[in-house]
Structure 1
Amino acid sequence: MHAWLCENPVGFDALTWKELPTPQPGPGQVLVEIKAASLNFPDLLIVQNKYQMKPPLPFVPGSEYAGVVRAVGPDVTHLQAGQPVACLSGTGGFGTHTLAPAALCLPLPAGFDLVDAAAFIMTYATSYHALIDRGALKAGETVLVLGAAGGVGTAAIQIAKQAGARVIAAASSADKCQLCLDAGADATLNYSEHTPSGSLREAIKQLTDGKGPDVVYDPVGGEFAEPVFRSIAWRGRYLVIGFAAGPIPSLPLNLALLKGASIVGVFWGDFAKREPQANAAMMQTLAQWYLQGKIKPVLDQTLPMSDLHRAYALMGSRQVKGKLVMVNPG
């Protein structure tokens, strides 16, 4: 097997493509031949030693991938060789093969494209858990999605529309706003045309007839968080997804009091561990929605696995719209 190896987490330029022994699965493991692997924001952080999970060195990055099971561990009964799966295991995806925890593998139904499957679990599970479970989104409500042109943002647009909500998508350029409209958003807000101190709040007010959004989906953080929270509707829910902008904002708690609003933390990874049955039911729903054509990952582009450095550079420069997927030949 071959894989991109991180031996020194100083950035993606230090990753090297190496030949490694093909491992055999132990208890609770399966060997997956990787067909496709997507690039997620944590993949950028983990090779810079900036992510909360710090795997022992050396490691193969690539948190999310899809492929075919080639061998199963002695105690694995729910998967078998030849079965297509998707997996989100945190590492291992940027190579030709990996040992995956069998419990984290999602068996893929017939008709589930492996490139789509590699870009599916993290964004759709996060967005469904956020909007439907934590945000209690109802039909007829208005959702403001920040960072809406990214992977989780485009997934949030689609899931919110499935819930019957009106979606306002916020993104940083005209072409990203158009991508959001193509993904199903009802209206857009271009960050680059507004300042956090004033015109952003006025734009939100105009787009919501003065009421404000019922739910805010925020994977970005940064300077726009407070003015957006000041714009939220009565009984609004502000969903804290992540901090792609870098700085973690400090929200004045008196605003929550004055609006009767909730600041709601969203940590899908721990939800999946603590409530595995609920998570499995959610994933089954999402897989059915995909097969029914109700949701589909928005892909920026697919690149050969050999172009991983280029893919990292694109993500680091904020040029990616939707998801980037690395594909192995064959």
Structure 2
Amino acid sequence: MALALLVPGGRGQLGHDLLAVAPRDGFAHAPSSAELDITDAECVADAVATFAASARDHGLRPAVVNAAAYTAVDQAETDEDRAFAVNALGPGMLAAECARHDVPLLHVSTDYVFPGDADRPYEPTDPTGPRSAYGRTKLAGEERVLASWRRSWVVRTAWAYGASGANFVKTMARLEKERDTVSVVDDQRGSPTWTRDLATGLVQLAGLATTGHGPRARVLHGTGGGDTTWYGFTRAIFEELGADPGRVRPCASTEYPRPAPRPAYSVLSGGTWRAAGLAPLPPWREALSTAVASGVLGSAVT
């Protein structure tokens, strides 16, 4: 039996790539947040019921991959109620409906659930301690998903970029054209993640989950391999553009204060991901090169 995917938040970076890598012998439905508002209980119930029935009528194995999220990190500091509705209440309702229809759920979360003060990659079992409204609401979403449905998995990722929408890579590519030099923080460390690679891993995980071979560990970390700082990441972006990486200058986070504190250390361990039999995501530097060559920057370099 082939795979059928329902992807709430389907117009975002990850949703766009999930649609692109979905198996061709099945089908994928990736509605926008306007089409499927996960904060609307009636809408969620109808969407999951209709999807599950349609998939099974066509002899397909249904799975839901939740890519819907409130990701305006700074704005969440003054809009936490709305962030909580999208990042916590919505996923909880989605998990409950998936349980009602016996559909596995993969819920995408974030490195922001950790305090960011570690000196080694975070394991899924490490204590959480979000320091921002965004992180608090995402952690609350994880808890609701895991409590609502035994066939649900949380996949935390970090520093994501893709072909759809705005992201750090596109911003740096634009600034390379506009400025002689660019100052980027060198005291925050993480693992850049191409959403195409993450999407491929999530489809593999969905395949396992729908055949009864889902991982015993219900929280996994899926990021690009290795780690760097935003400064190091930007130098690599400049190199891919054929620009002089010496034009990128390091600076401290204190020079660019933001409403929401950023984790100083966001590296996530992929041990449980590999233990589940999932293919590790490629090293971040290799992935960046592949992504740029495939046109991930789009109009940002024209």
The TM-score with structure 1 as length reference comes to 0.25
Higher radius of gyration, 1 or 2: 1
> If each structure's strand is expressed as a fraction of its own residues, which one has the higher value?
1
Structure with the greater relative contact order (CA < 8 A, sep ≥ 6): 1 or 2?
A: 2
What is the TM-score of this pair, normalised by structure 2?
0.27
